[in-house]
Each structure stands twice: as structure tokens, then as C-alpha cells.
Amino acid sequence: MRASAVFERGNMKQQVVAKPRDGFTTGLGVIAATLGSAIGLGNIWKFPSLTGTNGGAAFLILYLACTLLVGLPVMISELALGRRARANAVTTFQKLAPREPWWLVGAAGALAAFLILAFYTEVAAWVFAYIFKAGLGGLNSTDPTITSQAFTSLISNPVQSLLWQWGVLIFIAVIIIAGVSKGIEAMTKRLMPALFVILLIVIVRSLTLPGAGEGLAFLFRPDFSKVTWATVLVAMGLSFFKLSVGMGTMITYGSYFRADQNIPWTAVRVMLGDVLVSIMAGMAIFPAVFAFGFQPDAGASLLFITIPAVFSSMPLGQVFMVLFFILAAIAATGAMLSLLEVPVAFLNERLRWSRLVSTIVTTVILAGFGSLAALSGSVLADFKPFGMTMFDLYDFTTSNILLPLGGLFICLFVGWRWARSEAAASLSNDGALRNEGVIRFFLGVVKFVTPALVFVVLLNGLGLIKL
């Protein structure tokens, strides 16, 4: 709706029409964009591996329980705050709690999004580079030693590292410049269906391999003997980080939600979609990994060393290798779009810069900070403040400090500072939804349970508790 202001000057009236704020235009666009934010490279390698090594189906059940109590309440909180304020992460808190320091929570989230992009774009750069390397046959080897050398040659080459990272940044920036509806929404509406289609193709190929059943058993066989208190901490931490909360993304995206969007139900669907993608990724990877006798290692070694060797071992493996890295690139793109939108929205709304200028400025600064992460495997390998490379320092600062703190204070704000009537109004679409029971359950969890559990995640990340 266009807002107008009428000013009287003598006998003249001047009408000024403000430009309407961009936002998501369809329910499908909301789901696609939000799911694209939640899905990332962690869905492709981290979640399946952790599931397999921590009890299979037993860990999956534990993870879902932790998600309901940790990740999901924070996501609902952020979406509700964003839509209520219709503003960026920082301004949201200034609107809802004027003249109070709660805006620092939004600022910490924006900083977290920026720092995550600084190193995440480098990982995404490796993925995009591997699409071309796989297509040109540069990864065709069944020997993990050779695929390891290929990966090392990429990350240790400063020119390649920088050029691929900057290329990824430019790619994401172009989409962001196009706007929320014509850029983010339009792109994610195409990318998310493509992601599921490619996943299904790779799953079918993987399950038809001899010995694929061992990979499915690794992923799904329940082993409750592996479930310990340490496993619970892993599940809680994963449930929190997997949904892209604590970094301002869901507040920013929530501000673009339509007035009739059911926030609790949307968050649940995003959570289930995120878990589904993770499980499907495991079904695509581990049957093939076990079929050819490789180890299901978690981390970069699985994605960039083991996977190329696995696909090189099967007929038409090069084709499926290319498809797999396109899949990983799609997962990374949705996450990067949501992260870049956080600082861009802030500059656009607070400094009144155009979206074009806001995006260019953010991208240029990111290229500078990101280059420190990109060069951590080459010329800056020996530069280790606090005993960490810049890549690892960005990762540690965001994952172990900023994100848990952001999630904790968001819970405290919604549970204790925000008026219950305001929270209920936002979650019920001002009474249009008859979901009083859902709201009562949510507010009880976000007030008492979730902050306590997020605090445990924070302490664990800082190494202050060991189980």
C-alpha cells in the first residue's frame, strides 16, 4: 500500500508519495526464499555425516526434538519480529523497543551475517570451481590422494582463490541488486525445485549401485548406544545453526513476508524441508561412498576429496559429479542471498542509499574482508591471530559467539520484553488465525526452555562445558 503525506503551504497542497517497500509476492516465494536461507552446504555433508556417526535414526529423532525446542522457536521469533516492524535487523529492535539498547542484538546479527559471508563465499567458491573442474575432467580419479592434491592446489593458489571468491560475490550481488521479489524470490523459486530434482537424480543413481544398502544402514539404522550427553550437545548445536537463525537473516526475510502469511506454519514447513534435504543428501552420498569402499568422513574432505573419487568410480560418474556440485552450488546460493541481504537492507533503509549503491559498497568491503579468508590457505597461512587463520577466526567468532548470543537475546526479547499481546498479534495475523494453542506453547518454550538450551550451546561452543 502506498503511503502519502499531505503538506499545506498557504493555499497549496503538496502530496508526497513514498515508494512502497519491496517484499515477497507469493506464498511459494516465501517458502522458497526462507528454505533457501536455511539450506546450505552443511545439509550436503555435515548433517548426514553427523547423523550416521551419532546413532543414525536415533540421532535423527534427537535432532528433531532439539529443533522443536531450540532452532524452531528462534526462527519463529525472528520472523515475527521482522514482519511486525517491517524493517532491517537493526531498525526492527529500534522500532519495537525505542530508546533501549536492544538494537545491539540486530547489529550483532548483521555483523555475524557479514563475517559468515567473508568465509562462506570462499567455500562456495571452491564448489563453483569444482563444477568446471569436474566438467573438464580435472577431478577424474578414483584415488583420494590425487583428488586431495587437486583440492590443495586450488586452495593454495592465491589468484584462483581470490578470483573464484570475487566471482561468487559478483554473482550474488547481481541477484540482490534486482530486488527482493525480482531477485531473491524469483531466483529461489527456480533454484529450490532444481535442487530437489538433482537430488532425486543422484539418489536414484546412488541406490542402484551394488552394496548401497550399507550406506542406507549407516544413515538410518538406530544405534541408541551412541546417544550420550555429548550427542545431545551436538544435536542442540546443529538444530540451532542449521536454520540460519541468530544472524539477522530471518528478521530481514520476515520483514518481507505478506500480512496473511502464517508464520508458525511457514517455519515448520521450512524446518521439515531443511531436514528432508539433509536426509536426501545422505541418501545421495553414502550409498555410493560405501559401495566403493570409501570412508564417510565429515567436512571438506568428504565434499572435495572423497566425493570426486566416489563418482569417478562409477559409470557416467563425471556427469553425476557435475550434477552433484551444481546441487551444492544451489544450496550455497540460497544461503548467501539471505546473508548478503542483511547488510544491504540496513544500508538501504538506514542511510537511504539505493539498493544498487548499498549492494556495491557491501560487496566491495566483503571482497576485502573475504580475501583474508581466501588467502588463509596460501600467503596468509602463517598469519594466525589467537592461534587461528582468518578463515577459522571468522568461523569461530560467528558460530561460537555471535550466533548463540543473538539467538539467546532474541528469545529473551520475545519472551520477556515484547508485550505478549504484540507477539500474539504478529503470530495470529492480528487475530485472523485461530492458533491460540500454538501461541501459548511457543511463548512458554521461548520464555523458559529455548534460552536455557541456547545458553548451553553458547557455553559448549566456548569450551566452558565438556561432556
pLDDT digits (tens, 9 = 90+) for 380-398: 999 999 999 999 999 999 9
Per-residue confidence (pLDDT) for residue 167, from 0 to 100: 98
Per-residue confidence (pLDDT) for residue 2, from 0 to 100: 39
Task: Give the other-Cβ count within 10 Å of 354's Cβ.
Answer: 11
Per-residue confidence (pLDDT) for residue 46, from 0 to 100: 87
Q: What percent of the chain has pLDDT over 90?
A: 88
Residue 80 near residue 263, CB atoms below 8 Å: yes
Return the bridge partners of 5, or none.
16
Residue 116 near residue 152, CB atoms below 8 Å: no
- Name, in order, each residue with C-beta under 8 angstroms of 185's C-beta and a sequence gap of 6 or more: 24, 25, 26, 29, 32, 33
Phi and psi angles of residue 14, each rounded to the nearest 5 degrees, phi first = -115, 120
Q: What is the pLDDT of residues 231-270, one digit of tens each?
A: 999 999 898 888 999 999 999 999 999 999 999 999 999 9
Q: What is the pLDDT of residues 336-355, one digit of tens each?
A: 999 999 999 999 999 999 99
Per-residue confidence (pLDDT) for residue 240, from 0 to 100: 84
Q: What is the pLDDT of residues 279-313, one digit of tens each?
A: 999 999 999 999 998 888 767 788 999 999 999 99
Q: Quick one: which H or E segment has residue 7?
A: strand 4-9
Per-residue confidence (pLDDT) for residue 367, from 0 to 100: 97
> Among residues 40, 205, 202, 60, which one has the least CA distance to residue 121?
40
SS3 content of the chain, % helix, strand, coil (to 5): 75, 5, 25
136 three-class SS: coil
Q: What is the pLDDT of residues 171-204, one digit of tens each?
A: 999 999 999 999 999 999 999 999 999 999 999 9
Question: Among the CATH numbers 1.20.1740.10, 3.20.20.80, 2.40.50.140, 1.20.140.10, which is that of 4-461?
Answer: 1.20.1740.10
Cell 566491495, located at residue: 364
- Name, in order, each residue with C-beta under 8 angstroms of 103's C-beta and a sequence gap of 6 or more: 90, 91, 93, 94, 97
Residue 264 near residue 438, CB atoms below 8 Å: yes
Phi and psi angles of residue 15, each rounded to the nearest 5 degrees, phi first = -100, 125
Angstrom distance (rounded) from CA 357 to CA 294 = 48
Q: What is the pLDDT of residues 412-439, one digit of tens each?
A: 999 999 999 999 999 999 999 999 999 9
Q: Quick one: which H or E segment has residue 167?
A: helix 158-177
Query: pTM of the predicted model, to two decimals?
Result: 0.93
Per-residue confidence (pLDDT) for residue 19, from 0 to 100: 61
Grid cell listed for 299: 567436512
The residue type of 207 is L
Angstrom distance (rounded) from CA 397 to CA 300 = 20
Grid cell listed for 450: 529455548
Q: Output the average pLDDT for the chain.
A: 93
The model's confidence at residue 17, banded by pLDDT at 50, 70 and 90, is: very low
The residue type of 324 is F
Q: What is the pLDDT of residues 141-173, one digit of tens each?
A: 999 999 999 999 999 999 999 999 999 999 999
Q: What is the pLDDT of residues 106-126, one digit of tens each?
A: 999 999 999 999 999 999 999
Mode of pairing for the β-strands spanning 4-9 and 12-17:
antiparallel
pLDDT at 16 over 80: no
Residue 246 near residue 407, CB atoms below 8 Å: yes
Q: What is the DSSP string of 15-65?
A: EEEPPPPP---SHHHHHHHHHHHH--HHHHTHHHHHHHHTTTHHHHHHHHH
CA distances from 205 to 46, 212, 214 (A): 21, 10, 15
The model's confidence at residue 467, banded by pLDDT at 50, 70 and 90, is: low
Angstrom distance (rounded) from CA 45 to CA 307 = 10
> Among residues 347, 342, 340, 339, which one has the least CA distance to residue 363?
340
> Among residues 80, 94, 93, which one has the least CA distance to residue 426?
80
